[in-house]
Structure 1
Amino acid sequence: MEMIKAHRRTMLKWLAALTPLSLMPRALAASTDDIKHILPTVTDTVFSISVSVEKPRLQLQLLIDGKAVKGQQKDSRGRFWSFFADDLKPDNTYELQLSDEAGDLGQSWPLKTFPDRNSDPKSFKLMAFTCAGGGDGFGIPSLQFFKPHAFRQRLFEAGLAKNPDAVIAIGDHIYWDLGGKEQPSVLKRAKWLKYLTRWKNYGSFNRDEPVLGTNNEDVLVRIGDEQISNLYGTRFKSTPVYFVSDDHDYFENDDATPDIVTFPPDNFSREAHQVVADLYYPPLPGAPVPAWNRAFGTLTYGRLFEASIFDCAGYLTVGDDARLIPNVAEEWLIHRLKQSPAKHYAMVPSHPFGWTAGKWREWYPDVVAPEGFTGVVLNELFAESPGKMTTKAQKYFWQKGWWNQHQRLLDALVKHRQGSRMIFSGDIHAQGVVSIRESGKLILEEPVKSFLVGPVSSSDATWPSAARGCAAAEPEWLKTDELINTREVNGFTIFEFEESFARAQLFDCGGYDRSKDEDGRVQREVVVEI
């Protein structure tokens, strides 16, 4: 019987290959390939791959050059599977093929391991972007929150056309902020959002129940399917993607008011983040603690390039020893930048060095306040009172320890990494490059370049100037040189590395002014030597 099923699947695949998709019956198209998404991460010896399918399966397996790897089911129904294969050959291209109980599923595809970590590859090309989440074209005709998927996917295709060896996707991969409730809370000055959230009917969470195996799983999967699997599809299946989370991936904005402080995340927010990550994308390799592999990790490409990647939201602390990353992670990060043999080294925080948007959870105390005001300011989205960025007013519940940690990390980077070292990050919905010369009392004899790599999904209501009333700017406690003007545009950055050469290409895909009908294609390109 299994041979008959496999034969039927083979015949269907031949028919699918010979028949234009537009002429193929939908039932036949679905039966030959209902793979929704494939996202891989690789090292020099490991493949870690996340897959989802439209219809539940009892079992999926992955053939790697003919060797079977059994899938691990990640959900309660059999739609989400992960695959882990180690002891692979470095710098080697493998052929991968998914299969289920009926035979081959979809077409085979290539995936390559990185070069041996002790080797000296000649070149490395890296794509980076941020803020790809959000509902498909979510908004109303006069005010759009997130770009349609078609816009974002053209941006992705433009980046993949540059043939990167790997990608770093910096949070936020999900936007559905709950404000500690079961559905997104209604902002005081934007009550019309209530109708939007009802229109986008993902459903309601029950925070007293676990995520998997309850109605919570259905709600979460509706969100994740739209914002991740439908967006990425299988276009990155041969390009490793390193995902790191930020605040919205915990189903919260980083808010602090007398009524609610959203971070550190509560148990439900932490579990929801973990389940989304487990279902949709692979963990980060090289984490300082195995259980933290959704928030901290390392990208190592031989001895040519290394990036230390870290989440500045999920493990933050407040109080006397406040930090945006915990002490263990800070020690790991400083150890890596000291010990890494890489010719080019990058720190990749989920929240940027060198810019402020006046948000609560920043390294910096800057906040948007009325001119001349010196009291305490609540940092609210879409606040109606005008103001400008200042440190004279007090940002409610901002922690000086976050700045102290910023200083320790920057000081370590300057002291222990000479030559090619950089910082690149996301979160703020803009693109630009600065060179940091001074940070408080810290004078940088050799300035550090910092990059905002560019968001993917931002639209009318999510630019800093709309959401905060003020564009991203230089923090008052820093002195920087602006190498590339900070602009509210969607885009991505391609980093290119060779032994004695490094540069960044910033690709502007527009999207700020919808009247221009920009569709995700590249509008402008600028180059910065590192």
Structure 2
Amino acid sequence: MKRRDFIGSGALFSTSAVLPRLVSAADSWSDGSIQHLIPFSNHNSILLKVSFREPQEGPKLRIGRSLFDGQQRDTLGRFWSFKAEGLESHKEYELTLQDNTGNRFADSWPLQTTPPIDADAESLRILIYTCAGGPDDAEGLDGTWRFLPISTRRRILERALSLSPDLAIGVGDQVYWDQNTPRNNRPSALQARENIWGKYGSLDEDLPIYGSANEAAITGCLDEQIASLYGTSFRSVPLILTQDDHDYFVNDAATDEEITLPPRNFTARLGRAQQSLYFPEFLPDPYRPNYIAGAFRDGSSESYGSFRWGSLLELLLYDCRRYVTLAGPSAVFIETQTEKWIKNRTSDENSSRHLIHIPSTPMGWSAGKWGEWYPDFIQSDGQLGIENPKPYWQSGWFAQHQRILTSLANQRQRFPLMISGDLHAIGSGTIHRSAALNFDNPVETILSGPVGTGSAWPSASRGIGSTVPVNLQVEERSSPIEKNGFTILDIDPFGIDVRQFAWLPEDGLDTINNLQPFSEFRLDRI
């Protein structure tokens, strides 16, 4: 779609990077001097990541009569984390951020802790989506738009929030600013890169992340792509943001010149800085050991996490990029000890009525990319196949895929379910067979839907959309479509109702406000 057509369809591409939050006419809440605020909670704790428009000294979080000191995350004092522990379960608290003299930075707001770990719970509504990152005003040299403007992304999220979720999850790709990936060395790509990303400046691997020009560059990028997208709109909805390849400032790619994953030292530190500054780590969970990769001594965790809503639901969320290995038949996407933990949690069917896996890399479909579970590669006829092998692909990745699917399918009381992102598509299906594995209890798989993709859908450059791999048998309930959207889960003790929403700019901005599901189905316990 060309510039004049795209802009003409409802003024879609107004500049929006400096707008602080989603605003509705009925919302009189004032965010004051807060630039962005992302909360997370469990049964006894609350964790906030907050940025201010100006540097602060000694900000505090007030909950009732208790004050919790902020922990400075950056050099200047704009970015802070606040952790409140020892709270009551399943209770709504009033939160206030204030300076060291007691003056408020913004209006107070409510946030709820989750039910006790093993308590019965009747219902939960989850919003889940993917690929929300990307610069604003991202017009390519060919007139296509790489990403939706942030104002449009916010409008999609506003529609999702109007459905009153109890929890929100953004699966990977919170940012797009790839560094030194092979495909970006072409002259045309370099020019497009400068046009779209040049405003951020550059990153220097010979300098530290903090206290150098790198800090200004990364916060300039992420202020636009994360802080201006979320603002304070999720202040009362716990939000989990996970990481995928672009969150390490690379695209998964492998050539004779460069292999981008696992993240090298510099890009791994960029990924850690992104989370440290902008969104919460996973809070401690008594069912998650603190010896898995990315875990801290206090039980919190970066790359691998979990979430419980009493005994109703357990989520297992895992980053498939940070600890990927290139060891041939023994290669893995997920660190070995973490895989054991995932298997153990999946087999414990007495712990929760429902269990959902949320990997950053989907199972059930392929786009022929290097960093996938599958060996499928685009062949000379333009279709996916395995006759001509995928360069640098590791057979151990598929072996781990088989082990994870087996653990899911071996459940006898719960239906196997995984939800993911990455592929810039939305859809659902049922995996009945994977290579030699036939599943009596087939695995439900859902692509959650991208929020930020513009008119340059990846299939245009890859030559193929999300496709069932050769060695899988997948019954597609809704074949993946390249549209922006999100998924809503309504969970009760006996099953999960799924609604999927999709939208394209051609539909017009005004249709977002009343967007209706294009796919609805229910999954019942066995």
2:83 aligned with 1:84: yes
Question: C-alpha displacement at 1:191, in angstroms?
Answer: 4.7
CA distance, structure 1, for counterparts of residue 484 and residue 321 of structure 2: 23
Partner of 2:454: 459
Question: C-alpha displacement at 1:391, in angstroms?
Answer: 1.5
With over 3 angstroms needed to count, the CA separation of the structure-2 counterparts of 1:515 and 1:236, relative to structure 1, is: closer
Kept after mapping to 1: 8 A contact 2:172/2:242: yes
Partner of 1:122: 122
Partner of 1:323: 332
> Out of 496, 499, 502, which is 1:502 matched to?
496
Kept after mapping to 2: 8 A contact 1:118/1:303: yes
1:46-445 aligned within 5 A:
46-102=45-101, 103-140=103-140, 142-179=143-180, 185-187=184-186, 190-197=189-196, 200-285=198-283, 286=285, 288=289, 289=292, 290-291=295-296, 293-320=301-328, 321-339=330-348, 341-371=351-381, 387-445=382-440
Q: How many residues align?
A: 483
> Out of 481, 490, 496, which is 1:487 matched to?
481
CA distance, structure 2, for counterparts of residue 368 and residue 413 of structure 1: 29
Percent of aligned positions with the same letter in both sequences? 35
Question: C-alpha displacement at 1:500, in angstroms?
Answer: 1.0
Q: What's the RMSD between the two structures over aligned residues?
A: 2.2
Query: What amino acid maps onto 2:58 in structure 1?
Result: Q
Kept after mapping to 2: 8 A contact 1:460/1:466: no
Partner of 1:380: none
2:455 aligned with 1:447: no
Query: What amino acid maps onto 2:397 in structure 1?
Result: W
CA distance, structure 2, for counterparts of residue 352 and residue 97 of structure 1: 39
Q: TM-score, normalised by structure 2?
A: 0.88
Question: C-alpha displacement at 1:189, in angstroms?
Answer: 5.8
Query: What amino acid maps onto 1:207 in structure 2?
Result: E
Kept after mapping to 1: 8 A contact 2:55/2:77: yes
Q: TM-score, normalised by structure 1?
A: 0.87
> Out of 456, 472, 476, which is 2:470 matched to?
476
Query: What amino acid maps onto 2:423 in structure 1?
Result: I
Question: C-alpha displacement at 1:464, in angstroms?
Answer: 2.8
> Out of 496, 518, 526, which is 1:525 matched to?
518
Q: Secondary structure at the match of 1:436?
A: strand
Question: C-alpha displacement at 1:421, in angstroms?
Answer: 2.9
Query: What amino acid maps onto 1:134 in structure 2?
Result: G
Question: C-alpha displacement at 1:185, in angstroms?
Answer: 3.6
With over 3 angstroms needed to count, the CA separation of the structure-2 counterparts of 1:417 and 1:458, relative to structure 1, is: farther
CA distance, structure 1, for counterparts of residue 412 and residue 361 of structure 2: 21
Higher relative contact order (CA 8 A, sep 6+): 2
> What's the CA shift string for 1:241-267, capped at 9, x where partnerless?
111100000000001000000001110
Q: Secondary structure at the match of 1:416?
A: coil
Unaligned runs of 5+ in 2: 1-23
CA distance, structure 2, for counterparts of residue 519 and residue 148 of structure 1: 16
> What's the CA shift string for 1:133-192, capped at 9, x where partnerless?
0001312482100001111111111111111110111110010000269xx943366454
Question: C-alpha displacement at 1:338, in angstroms?
Answer: 1.5
Kept after mapping to 1: 8 A contact 2:410/2:441: no
Q: Secondary structure at the match of 2:308?
A: strand
Partner of 2:44: 45
CA distance, structure 2, for counterparts of residue 151 and residue 417 of structure 1: 43
Question: C-alpha displacement at 1:271, in angstroms?
Answer: 0.5
Kept after mapping to 2: 8 A contact 1:151/1:519: no
| Structure with max Cα Rg | 1
Unaligned runs of 5+ in 1: 1-20, 23-28, 372-386
Question: C-alpha displacement at 1:519, in angstroms?
Answer: 6.8
Kept after mapping to 1: 8 A contact 2:181/2:251: no
Question: C-alpha displacement at 1:319, in angstroms?
Answer: 1.3
CA distance, structure 2, for counterparts of residue 110 and residue 238 of structure 1: 6
Kept after mapping to 1: 8 A contact 2:138/2:196: no
